[in-house]
Structure 1
Amino acid sequence: MIPRLTAGTGTDARPAPAGFDRRLIAPMVLGSVLNPINSSMIAVALVPIGIAFGAPPAETVWLVTALYLATAVGQPVIGRLVDMYGPRRLYLAGTGLVGAAGLLGALAPSLGVLIAARVLLGFGTSAAYPAAMRLTRSEAERTGQDSPAGVLTALAVSAQTVAVIGPTLGGVLIGAAGWHMVFTVNVPLSAACLVLGVKWLPKTGPAARRQAMDLPGMALFSVLLVSLMLFLMGPRPDRWYLPLLTLLAAAAFAVRELRVPDPFVDLRVLGGNGPLVVTYLRQLLAYTTSYAFLYGYTQWLEQGRGLDASAAGLVLLPLSASALVTATVTGRREAVRGKLVVGSVLQIAGCAALLAVGAGSPVWLLLAVGALLGVPQGLLGLAAQTALYRQADPERIGSAAGLLRTFMYLGALGASAATAAFYPDHADTAGLHGLALFMLAGSVLLLAITLPDRTLARLTPQAPQPPRAPQA
């Protein structure tokens, strides 16, 4: 049973508008950008943090890894809790945890405590996106108007924008008051989310509290995912036990979820929802290519092309600009199949163009490749988000949205492993071309599973549901 939402703030009820309640957009967007801003700001803080604690890069990289691990596990777990208990409770708890984690990081006496703060940030920032997807679905059911394109676009564009400006913002904060500020900034952001959440997020009826939680299923899923991600971050023969642990955890997880009446991930429903499974696969393929280009191209620009860090950052601006413009211009039209096909074709073209790039390539070509590959980033992310909204079980939209983010992070880790494999010692042009062929293969596979998928043509706005009666 989906938790019923009642329009109320504090102890006072508020009149609900006839259409989508646009007062929800501010807390939804602000909460959803907490994760990308913490993912991106840390990039410019690693060196000063390493100097402060006398830690080498092999240790400070755990500040990045810890957030990825916690978020990849936390998104679907907290998403399931959103489905069970409603978005308001989890949103407020998660964004409150972000503020506490930010304060802990700012006062951290050691690198270990700082890593623990990043783990808490990962879990805290995992609540807002599933909550936003749950709220979008609830508003469509309350109003009987199924038109989420504008809201989904706002979520996607805001996350992309913050990811772009995150390193710059982090640099400004560090220059003004030191690396502590990349953690301290979470305190006012958390406070703003709490104020907006308390004021505008609708309450959840008490019936949801009687639902059971599949804690063993959540624990097995966490073991499965953490062991897999740890192996992807450093695939070496001496880590043979990690894939074995992954397989054992996966088998135990499947047995558990198929036997319990209210599983964490309903494998029976998911197995019968082939289109949603394919959407997760598309997310994995799209973001593997996206992150492989971001990681691999940036390193090559500095080592293979000989640009300094600031110049390499400027060369990547067209990538960000074209992604943002594409998402903004095309966001209000769902056109899932069209976006996936065009995005896949342009991604193939961009990967092929990388094969023509070399150490002597003119700057205009370097800029053009980035601009070309930014377009599919804007198209594919929106298409996957909209497809999930249409394909997922409405009662599990929160956990389904969390899994979508998990597959994105798996793509990021796969890209990181591929980059390390093609650049064993130095980011040279031969390694870039090998990485481009890897990306090209993934993009061709993405197109191959999209073209014959006739279900995409049927992803249209659903028939309006009758408004829910408020629950006392």
Structure 2
Amino acid sequence: MPAPPRPGAATGADPVDVRGFGARLTAPLLMGSLLNPLNTTMISTALVAIGHAFGIGATDTAWLISVLYLASAVAQPVLGKLADVIGPRRVFLAGLVVVTASGLVGALAPGFGLLIVSRLLLGIGTSAAYPAAMAVLRDESRRVGRITPRPVLARLSFAALGSAAVGPALGGLLVTVVGWRGIFAVNVPVALLAFAVTLRWIPADPPREPGAGRRAPKLSPDPLGIGLFSAALTVLVFFLLGLAHPRWWLLAPLAVLTAALLRWQLRSPQPFIDVRMLAGNGALLRTYLRHGLSYLLIYCVMYGYTQWLEEARGYSSGHTGLLMLPMSLTALLCSLLGARTRTLRAPLTLACVLLTAGSAVLVFLSGDTPLAVLLLAGACFGIPQGLIGTSNQAAVQAYAPPESIGSAAGLQRTAQYLGAIAASSLIALAYADAASDSGLHLMAAVSAALGVLLFVLTVTDRALRAHS
């Protein structure tokens, strides 16, 4: 069967027709895909409670953020590649098993070290869902002979964005009702339910052998490429996490590992990362850059602003979650609106303007700022969060090779998590041991400057003009 048309290509199919992509296929994918974004933001309103429980400060609790992003940044493209090679259903199910284990470890952890282990496992396990889901949809598209309908992609995006958006509010509720351990325990029933419905409703992986009628030639996982990529990314993350006291010596092994990775990927007949394709695909590279920079700004608010509300303004975890509710609701609404638009440039440009404006508002917050202004500041970041996620997902669908959509989607998430890691580093640099007005203002000023840069990158992108 020939490969389906590229996303965005003209077809005779009704764009809202989702036959072949029914609820039984998409429901497990949505359940699994919400776990990673939910856990990236849900813990934001539990950091102070965890710090008090173990007698540690913001610098230490920042590791709970960073370790999940480190694991996710490495695992997303790796598991996406494995989904392309051995089958997405297998990878999806294995990830849910790891999520269940991580939830049990975190809920029962007697010390802070095991919480780090739990978040590491959680990052690996939840990273399987999104790239595997994209590969499942690709296989279904090949089976029925047409592209994945945009409403189906919109639901996948909505699940990710919606769960990330409601994470702070849900986290605040769990901490208030059952304590911070509920942040970890809630993953267990969700993962088990997703596992059960996946076994029942997701079809078995199609054959990957040459001549089987599904794919040719047979793909290779490229273990050396995966190992070099993982090592280089890990070194980069450790350098970013220590920006308060830079460990410049890490740049030497980073340079060596990066050079070795590039050399091997250029020589490998089936590379883990197709460097030649990326070098000739500026639109896809710019999408990754834009996505990572956008989420750097979003996560500065998701973590830095919530910590300031609790430590500097004295709000409880529950109240902080409620204060972040306008951001959550606007993100949910705008993720739906972003999925309906047929353009890319307009929603991304609007998102850049609002990210810059929201950062500027944070520069002027203080202990006596009215509550209405605090709510407005959060809402300014909710709109971009909804628009950016759906628009950049559509861009990856448009620009990435269909046969590598799993690894391409994983690299998109890697860019997002590198932005989040940079955000946690900036927060740790600004706050040191406790959130303060001056630390918030420093973080906001840097974010505003980066917002201007993001705006310039977006409006000057010629590929986006073609989708205007």
Please give the range of the TM-score, normalised by the shorter of the 2 chains.
0.7 to 0.9
> Displacement, 1:223?
0.9
Select the residue among 373, 393, 402 that pairs with 1:394: 402
Residues 63, 352 of structure 1: CA spacing in aligned structure 2 closer, same or farther, 3 A cutoff? closer
Q: Aligned equivalents of 2:316 and 2:50: distance in 1?
A: 21
Q: Aligned equivalents of 2:65 and 2:410: distance in 1?
A: 19
2:204 is aligned with 1:203: yes
State the partner residue of 1:131: 132
Contact in 2 for aligned 1:3/1:85 (Cα 8 Å) = no
2:273 is aligned with 1:272: no
- Paired residue type of 2:25: L
- Paired residue type of 2:410: G
State the partner residue of 1:443: 451
State the partner residue of 2:88: 87
Q: Aligned equivalents of 1:300 and 1:109: distance in 2?
A: 27
> Displacement, 1:50?
6.2
Which consecutive unaligned segments of at least 5 residues does structure 2 have? 5-17, 211-217
2:32 is aligned with 1:31: yes
Q: Aligned equivalents of 2:259 and 2:413: distance in 1?
A: 23
Aligned length: 448
> Displacement, 1:348?
2.5
State the partner residue of 1:119: 120
> Displacement, 1:237?
4.4
> Displacement, 1:320?
1.5
- Residues 101-123 of structure 1, C-alpha deviation per residue, up to 9 Å, x if partnerless? 33344455654444333322221
Residue pairs, 1:431-470, within 5 angstroms: 431-459=439-467
State the partner residue of 2:386: 378
State the partner residue of 1:214: 222
Residues 398, 2 of structure 1: CA spacing in aligned structure 2 closer, same or farther, 3 A cutoff? farther
Q: Aligned equivalents of 2:426 and 2:205: distance in 1?
A: 44
2:296 is aligned with 1:296: no
State the partner residue of 2:15: none
Residues 444, 169 of structure 1: CA spacing in aligned structure 2 closer, same or farther, 3 A cutoff? closer
Q: Aligned equivalents of 2:316 and 2:181: distance in 1?
A: 26
Aligned residue for 2:208, secondary structure, equals helix
> Displacement, 1:456?
2.0
> Displacement, 1:250?
0.8
Q: Aligned equivalents of 1:376 and 1:458: distance in 2?
A: 21
Identity rate, percent: 46
- Paired residue type of 2:34: V
> Displacement, 1:164?
4.0
Which deviates more, 245-254 or 352-361?
Answer: 352-361
Aligned residue for 2:340, secondary structure, equals coil
Which consecutive unaligned segments of at least 5 residues does structure 1 have? 5-16, 461-472
Which deviates more, 241-250 or 401-410?
Answer: 241-250
> Displacement, 1:336?
1.2
Contact in 2 for aligned 1:3/1:205 (Cα 8 Å) = no
Contact in 2 for aligned 1:2/1:83 (Cα 8 Å) = no
- Paired residue type of 1:416: S
Q: Aligned equivalents of 2:48 and 2:307: distance in 1?
A: 16
Q: Aligned equivalents of 1:185 and 1:308: distance in 2?
A: 21
- Residues 221-276 of structure 1, C-alpha deviation per residue, up to 9 Å, x if partnerless? 11111111112122254622323222221111111111111111010111111100
Aligned residue for 1:203, secondary structure, equals coil
Aligned residue for 1:204, secondary structure, equals coil
Contact in 2 for aligned 1:84/1:208 (Cα 8 Å) = no
> Displacement, 1:46?
5.2
Contact in 1 for aligned 2:161/2:389 (Cα 8 Å) = no
Aligned residue for 2:229, secondary structure, equals helix
Contact in 2 for aligned 1:174/1:182 (Cα 8 Å) = yes
State the partner residue of 2:420: 412
Contact in 2 for aligned 1:149/1:333 (Cα 8 Å) = no
State the partner residue of 1:75: 76
- Paired residue type of 1:335: T
Q: Aligned equivalents of 1:286 and 1:253: distance in 2?
A: 27
- The alignment's TM-score, normalised by the length of structure 1, stands at 0.85
- Residues 400-442 of structure 1, C-alpha deviation per residue, up to 9 Å, x if partnerless? 1111111111111111222233335664444433333311221
Residues 208, 34 of structure 1: CA spacing in aligned structure 2 closer, same or farther, 3 A cutoff? farther
Residues 304, 176 of structure 1: CA spacing in aligned structure 2 closer, same or farther, 3 A cutoff? closer
Residues 207, 2 of structure 1: CA spacing in aligned structure 2 closer, same or farther, 3 A cutoff? farther
State the partner residue of 2:103: 102
Residues 378, 171 of structure 1: CA spacing in aligned structure 2 closer, same or farther, 3 A cutoff? closer
Contact in 2 for aligned 1:20/1:143 (Cα 8 Å) = no
Q: Aligned equivalents of 1:43 and 1:373: distance in 2?
A: 15
Residues 448, 178 of structure 1: CA spacing in aligned structure 2 closer, same or farther, 3 A cutoff? closer
Task: Report the aligned-residue RMSD.
Answer: 3.1
- The alignment's TM-score, normalised by the length of structure 2, stands at 0.85
Aligned residue for 1:80, secondary structure, equals helix
> Displacement, 1:399?
0.8
Q: Aligned equivalents of 2:318 and 2:80: distance in 1?
A: 38
Q: Aligned equivalents of 1:331 and 1:346: distance in 2?
A: 18
Select the residue among 319, 330, 341 that pairs with 1:322: 330
Residues 406, 2 of structure 1: CA spacing in aligned structure 2 closer, same or farther, 3 A cutoff? farther
Which deviates more, 412-421 or 431-440?
Answer: 431-440
